[in-house]
Amino acid sequence: MACTRSSRSISRKGFGANSVKLDGSGHYDDFEVERVAAVEMNPRAKQGDLIAAIEPVADRLLKRYKAGQERLRSARERADDVGASDAQDEINALVLFKNDMAAYQRAYSFLSQIFDYGSSTIEKRFLFYKRLTPLLEFGREREGVDLSKVVLTHHNLKNEGQRRLDVSERDESKLTPMTEVGSGSVQEKERARLLEIIERINDLFGADTTDGDQLSYVNTLRDKMLESDALFMQAANNSAAQFANSPTLKEELMNAIIEAFEAHSSLSKQALDSQKVRDGLKEVLLGPAQLYQYLRNRSNDHFPGAAT
């Protein structure tokens, strides 16, 4: 597959906008990120070190949320519309902050299969958000932070090249340092598939959304379409070419776009407004996103004698 842009360009685009937004929220600083990352990377760190690093941040944000709720209740009792609006805005901002951290983690989970982020700020923020997000149980009345979710499992960022775990190889003696996984491996095929999705989706959507958001969107659409009994039956009884020309496929794609609107409003709006984008999405879903193959595999589980 030919790539029209460098891997570095794609990887930066995948996180740039979201990182700037999260950093600009004012809910944490670089010292707090570095402190959590340092604990994760230190093989000698203890559970207490991680708690000491992450608890102050979570406690501060939980108190901000609780204070916002109290201001909102007070303003409503006084019929203070302006005060109530300000308090609600602060509450919404904290909820959005948590959602943005979750989105960052999803993007990282996708793109880390393709790019080696090493000990970069991208990796450190992922570690920080991963620890902070589950502690922000907004709206649950309790004193202090629920630290039962804080369990230290060391994250080693030692640079050992591009080596990744190959589940198809059981013999550990075959793994040698600084050797890339072979081009025929499961990891390389997955990497090529994700890169193809990125390249093709980038041609459909503008620069306002990240690669991670676009990958997540494609997977969301595919998962929703996999729930369609009509598509399931058509995939079971038709060839890939026949399936691609099915009017039901276009209808179910439109239904999936509408259902995904709340979680992916910007991308769904572009898809709803453009037949070209919808056609491009269909090609990606039938191509590297492997919608037909997923449906066929599901049909083979139910109907072992299904036509091929």
Distance CA 267, CA 213 (A): 9
Contact 136, 98 (CB under 8 A): yes
119 pLDDT tier (thresholds 50, 70, 90):
low
Dihedral over Cα of 193, 195, 199, 201: its sign: positive
User: 139-148 contacts: CB < 8 A, separation 24 or more?
Assistant: 139/65, 139/69, 144/59, 145/55, 145/58, 145/59, 145/62, 147/51, 147/55
* Predicted local distance difference test score (pLDDT) of residue 198: 75
Distance CA 184, CA 163 (A): 14
Query: pLDDT by residue (tens digit) across 141-177?
Result: 566 676 665 655 554 444 444 444 444 444 443 333 3
Query: pLDDT by residue (tens digit) across 82-93?
Result: 999 999 999 888
Distance CA 32, CA 53 (A): 7
229 pLDDT tier (thresholds 50, 70, 90):
confident
In the three-class reduction of DSSP (H, G, I as helix; E, B as strand; rest coil), residue 261 is classed as coil
Helices (H), the chain: 7-23, 30-41, 47-77, 81-111, 121-132, 186-204, 211-226, 229-237, 240-244, 247-259, 265-273, 275-286, 291-302
Q: Which positions ≥6 away from 79 have C-beta within 8 Å?
A: none
The amino acid sitting at 177 is P
Among 290, 272, 269, smallest CA distance to 225 is for: 290
Q: Which positions ≥6 away from 148 have C-beta within 8 Å?
A: none
Distance of alpha carbon 20 from the chain centroid: 17
Between residues 4 and 303, which one has the greater pLDDT?
303
Give the pair of three-digit tokens for residue 293. 């193959």
Give the pair of three-digit tokens for residue 223. 């998962």
Helices 275-286 and 291-302: crossing angle, nearest 10°? 50
* DSSP 8-state class, residue 182: P
- Average per-residue pLDDT for the chain: 75
Between residues 272 and 83, which one has the greater pLDDT?
83
Contact 276, 232 (CB under 8 A): no
Helices 229-237 and 211-226: crossing angle, nearest 10°? 80
pTM of this prediction?
A: 0.51
78 pLDDT tier (thresholds 50, 70, 90):
very high
List Cα–Cα distances, 126 to 47, 52, 141, 206, in angstroms.
19, 18, 27, 25
Query: pLDDT by residue (tens digit) across 277-302?
Result: 888 889 888 888 888 888 887 666 55
Distance CA 146, CA 56 (A): 12
The gap between the terminal CA atoms of the chain, to the nearest Å, is 27
